Amino acid sequence: MITRRHFCATAASAAILARAPNALAQTSYELVIKGGRVIDPSIGIDAVRDVAISAGKIAAVAPNITVSAADTIDARGKLVVPGLIDIHVHAGRTKEGPPMILQDGVTGWVDAGSGGADNMDAIAAVARGAPQIGRCLINIARTGVAPGGELHDLTRANVDLARGAIARNRDIVIGVKGRMSNAVAGTNDLEVLRRAQAAADGLPVMIHVGQNYSPLRSYLSLLKRGDIVTHIYAPAPNGLLDDKGRLIPDVMQARRRGILFDFGNGVNDHFDWATVEAATKQDFWPDTFSTDWNVMSRTTGVVDMPNVMSKLLMFGMPLSAVIAAGTVNAARTFPAFDDRGTLNVGAPADVAILELREGEFEFLDNYKGTRKGKQRLFPIATVIGGKKAPARA
Ligand SMILES: [Zn+2]
């Protein structure tokens, strides 16, 4: 079973709202997305439906909407899903980043640790100017992510400076990021995590794990409900598998306590196929996907968010669960995304139109390992706040 902790409550309340009669009174819509296979796990829909948009919000999801519309998108043969939410990107580094991922169907993003106290203001400004909702996790290291590892010098993990930058950017900073890997923090890892939690002061903390100095369970025991582990399938040492390839019990125990586990594709040392295979065979699936995106990602094994989602599809994660992880599960991770990740009537009209192609597709891990899958999701079009986003070149 794939755990989706908010799923039942969300589906129940959404079912009531979906029957609201206001859609019938509408005389025309701004945009109707016609004839696609609508998959929205937040409201329990997987069926051919039209999606009508009015005043930048979802106005109706119903079969054969015939009311006139100023504009239409023909989505026959395509998937129509809530706009994708990527909770670990580095799109805040430049203003060119956010429009690029919008073309990939990403209508909400979280920059995870590009900025620390010294450069958070600039990254928050990029987020404020983005075409879609963008939020940030402040790196506990004042420098943000730095080449060679930002936390070998523990004085950079300055709680007061981080708190000050959070206070200056309350509208954008929604949590704290700490990179735990030996190459980033060395033996400082546990103290770094404690300082990240002190700076967070109740906000979620995301930790980047993989080849850590300390065992994973020592981090998990410090994490609280709603905290996030990214790069969950990072190979040994000190990953989620023991030396016999069994999932360490602490991982499922942490999941039961409400700790969230994020895929975190990235480029170097974040996952290999063997670890994904061993963990998923033991029924350990990600709560959320993320790309760890930067402006170079299209030329790496990341490519785009739909490509990353396709990798878990290849390992047998059901399509509805894959869509849930890329939409509603990600939205539930941070309160700032409360009304996102859904096509519920009244929600902001952020929609991703994807195509699930059948064929032979090659996917890459972080160690030049390739696997061939029979399906791949491609981004086709994005609607943001009820408007068509520019198509990908
Ligand atoms: Zn990252």
Q: Are 60 and 98 in contact (CB under 8 A)?
A: no
Is 70 exceeded by the pLDDT of residue 17?
A: no
**Each residue's pLDDT tens digit, 255-308:** 999 999 999 999 999 999 999 999 999 999 999 999 999 999 999 999 999 999
Residue 147: is the preceding peptide bond cis (ω within 30°)? Answer: no
Task: Report pLDDT for 27.
Answer: 80
pLDDT tens readout for residues 82-110: 999 999 999 999 999 999 999 999 999 99
CA 234 to centroid of ligand 1, rounded, Å: 13
Amino acid at 392: R
| Ligand 1 midpoint to CA 232 (Å) | 13
DSSP at 242: -
- Low-confidence winner among 8-22, 36-50, 139-153, 226-240 (lowest mean pLDDT): 8-22
On whether the pTM is more than 0.75, the answer is yes
Confidence at 25, pLDDT banded by 50, 70, 90: low
Q: What are phi and psi of 162, to 5 degrees?
A: -60, -45
266 C-alpha to center of ligand 1: Å?
7
- Gap between the Cα atoms of 152 and 35, Å rounded: 54
Measured in Å, residue 290 CA sits from the centre of ligand 1 at 9
Name the average pLDDT for the chain.
94
Give the mean model confidence (pLDDT) for residues 342-355: 98
User: What is the whole-number distance in angstroms between the Cα of residue 156 and the centre of ligand 1?
Assistant: 18
Q: Tell me how far the alpha carbon of residue 294 lies from the centroid of ligand 1, in angstroms.
A: 9
Rg (CA), the chain: 20
At residue 3, does pLDDT exceed 90?
no
Q: Is the pLDDT of residue 15 over 70?
A: no
Q: Which two tokens stand for residue 131?
A: 């075409």
Distance from Cα 299 to the centre of ligand 1, integer Å? 17
Neighbours of ion ligand 1 (CB under 5 A): 292
Task: Give residue 26's pLDDT band: very low, low, confident or very high (50, 70, 90).
Answer: low
The pair of three-digit structure tokens given for residue 169, joined into one six-digit string: 């950017």
First to last CA, the chain: 39
